[in-house]
Structure 1
Amino acid sequence: MKHVAWRPLVGVMVFGVCGYIFEVAAASSNAATARAYVSNEDGQSVSVLNAESFASIATIDVGKRPRGLKLSRDGSQLFVAVSGLPKCPPTVPDEECAKLERDLKADGIAVVDTASRKVIKVLAAGSDPEQFAMSNDGKRLYVANEDVGLLSVVDVDAGKVIERIKVGLEPEGVAMTPNGRWVLVTNESDSSVSVIDTATLKVTKTVPVGKRPRDMAFAPDGNTAYVSGELDASLYSMPVTGNEPVRRLLQLREATRPMAVVQDSARNRLYLSTGRGGTVAIIDTKDAPQAVKLIKEVPVGKRPWGIALSADGRHLYTANGPSNDVSVVDTTTLTEVKRIPVGSSPWGIVLGPAPP
């Protein structure tokens, strides 16, 4: 998403938060009590769903433009990136976006108590947070500050930013390797991925990938990242370390706009939401990273963005922005089996256990 022109970095103070964080595709080990949380970008809310019965449970007001979100390992706290930067589509020129009023006080990470369904605090997290990751020990946040081209690193115990790392233009997707050693950031306007060493907090390399990269997922060994390219309908693979070549693995049909990426290791698959393409692309990765194969595109709601996979791998959930709903895809039959109404312009989705 294009935003207003370059702006100065907002000062950051972060208060300590306990708990580990699931990645986008993570889910509960106790499927019977699984919850789905959906950020509604235009609704300033999060929808709470029963991920087994597909029933809507509640709506939680969280703040302006909620997008990226994570859930604590025990399901007790939900973390949601909120932003006071006005929504501005790519068709609107930068100079017009810059005229829109911005609420600097709205930027942060809203922390929701999932039992009471209330925001208990908002953590300052730099300018225009959109997506973020947390270290495996729960002690650091890595937040993409899209409008200023930075990644903010926050020590959550000390309650302060310990580093601001210069990355590419319009950083959006943030993901940590399974071993916690590397953080990768997709730079939309630079069509590249920055790799950051979490020990030194330095960028070790910047790798060119497809046009307007939006998200990534890791192969089971954590050494290969799969990166979606929105504007050229591509899927790339890149080595996290080493000098292996970057590969363009797949060219999807022109109308697709690959967005979120989820790995299904048990089935040797990747799932890609295709944005304006209105589908989820199912990719066979049995021969990856040398080669992959498109199995099928499953039609879902309008412009799917965030996706999440159930713990047992049986269902894939997609957040469909313009249709204000969530699609449930059966991963065995590869068909959409349910549509669940949610709030206005759903953006992201995360699965996990019900509150303890």
Structure 2
Amino acid sequence: MKMKISALALLMTVALSGCTAQQTSATKPAAEPQKTTAAAQPANVQKRDLADGLYEMALSPKGDALYVASSEGFKDVQGGVVYKLDPRTLKTIGASHTDLKNFALALSDDGQTLYVTNSLDGGVSAINTADGKVKNRILFPERNDEGFPYGARQILLHNNTLYVGAVADPAIIWVVDAKTLKLKTRIKNTGKWMTGLHYSEKTDRLYAANGGGEILVINPRTNRVEHRWKPLGDKPALLLNIAEDSETGRLFVTDNSKAKTTLVLNIQTGEVIKQLDIGDSLSVKFNAKRNEIYVSRRDGGKVLSLDGTSYAVKQSWDLPPNPNSLELSADGQTLFVTVKQKFNKDHSTSGPDSVVRIDLNK
């Protein structure tokens, strides 16, 4: 019998990926396709079909492993996988098969622990990267009016503390000890649907985006909300992901579904410096090494490279149907993208999602 999923869980998945999904209780195993897509790509683009339900990525500190979170299928598939890929070839060099579905990732500074949000179950798992085993887990107790867990969306690691945003109304941010996975406290009064999380060394503040069009400025020493910015005023906005140019003090904030834009904000005041007219935007990265901004346009099927000063589009990569998450190498010369397939009416897809490697030097 299929497990009924709440509207909130659907909205959580929309906020994370720009698409809807359904969880089931059947246990049909998911196989990993091993072939690389044969579609023609530019010389600097390498694409590999990997698995259903790909979401966020994380690179190891040494740059020798790319971790990719997968929920696997939402139709007749229980659990998920975290894939470990060679960042140069995109070949699988490891895999952690998990009993829960995986979405967002954070990696410890020493590279020994990978933290993954189990969004549909309202929890976080800690995976030992040496053997791929789940070594610890926390499931949060909060439930919505229908009895379903709050969706654990984004995860941020700072100063041995995990900050986990809850997609709920009202939303909260769980504050968790990264070593023990014990809940330390909750940051409340964070608006509707907590989405993006970012820490700035420049200001020593957390920045949190929500579905009500707000950016919250939080002091991580006191876990108190110090400022609430609403950059688009009363206009509908579902702000998602955040990136920073620390040299110029700018925040880049995306909106995929309401305002369909990318905002450039003053990191000190929240003032709108620029509203980029590039269409819908989901994931965003700033590359200080090349002074470039990268934005995935999920609906538009493209990833854009913008000049970090003029905001002019320098390059556009066609990655249909739905480019999703972005990850940037430490040297700033390689960009990774997860590309999702469209969902059918029965919540299946026509093929596996993909991982793309873009050599920015070519």
2:155 to 155, 171, 174: 174
User: 1:28-107 maps to which residues of 2 (within 5 A)?
Assistant: 56-86=44-74, 101-104=75-78, 107=80
Which segments of 5 or more consecutive residues in structure 2 lack a partner in the other structure? Answer: 1-10, 14-20, 28-34, 143-149, 335-356, 358-362
Of residues 247, 254, 257 in structure 2, which corresponds to 1:273?
Answer: 254
Give the fraction of aligned pairs with identical amino acids, expressed as a percent.
Answer: 19
Is 2:275 the partner of 1:297?
yes
Give the Å deviation of 1:78. 1.6
SS at match of 1:128: coil
Regions of 4+ moved over 3 Å: 1-8, 44-47, 73-76, 243-246
Q: Which residue of 1 aligns with 2:179?
A: 199
Partners of 1:131 and 1:172 within 8 A in 2:
yes
Distance 1:221 1:197 in 2: 23
CA apart distance, 1:328: 1.6
In the TM superposition, 1:209-224 aligns within 5 A as 209-220=190-201, 223-224=204-205
Instruction: Name which of 316, 319, 322 aligns with 1:342.
Output: 319
In structure 1, what is the Cα distance between the partners aligned to 2:275 and 2:73? Answer: 34
- Normalised to the residue count of structure 1, the TM-score between the two structures is 0.74
Per-residue deviation at 1:69? 0.7
Give the drift of 1:337.
Answer: 3.2
How much does 1:160 deviate?
A: 2.8
Measured against aligned partners, the alpha-carbon deviations of 1:258-286 in whole angstroms (never above 9, x if no partner) come to 1111122111111101112222100111x
8 Å CA contact 1:298–1:335 kept in 2: the answer is: no
- Change beyond 3 A, Cα 1:205–1:246: farther
Counterpart Cα distance in 1 of 2:152 and 2:113: 18
Conserved? CA contact 1:62–1:110, under 8 Å? no
Deviates more, 1:130-139 or 1:326-335: 326-335
Q: Are the counterparts in 1 of residues 254 and 283 from structure 2 also a CA contact under 8 Å?
A: yes
Q: Distance in 2 between matches of 1:252 and 1:109?
A: 37
SS at 2:282's partner residue?
Answer: strand
**Pair 1:46–1:212, CA change in 2 (3 A):** farther
Question: Which residue of structure 1 lines up, in the alignment, with residue 300 of structure 2?
Answer: 323
* In structure 2, distance between residues paired with 1:145 and 1:251: 30
Deviates more, 1:69-78 or 1:266-275: 69-78
Q: For 1:111-130, what aligned pairs fall within 5 Å after superposition?
A: 111-130=84-103
1:124-181 per-residue CA deviation (whole Å, 9 max, x = no partner) reads 245121101011011111110011111112233354323211235100101111x4x1
Q: 1:104 is matched by which residue type in structure 2?
A: Q
Which amino acid is the alignment partner of residue 346 of structure 1?
A: P
1:311 maps to amino acid: A
CA distance in 2, matches of 1:243, 1:58: 42
The 3 A distance-change label for structure 1 pair 65 and 6 is closer
Judge conservation of contact 1:5–1:147 (CA < 8 Å) in 2: no
- Identify which of structures 1 and 2 has the higher relative contact order when contacts are C-alpha pairs closer than 8 Å and 6+ apart: 1
Where do 5+ consecutive residues of structure 1 fail to align?
A: 11-43, 87-100
- TM (norm. structure 2) is 0.73
The number of equivalent residue pairs is 294
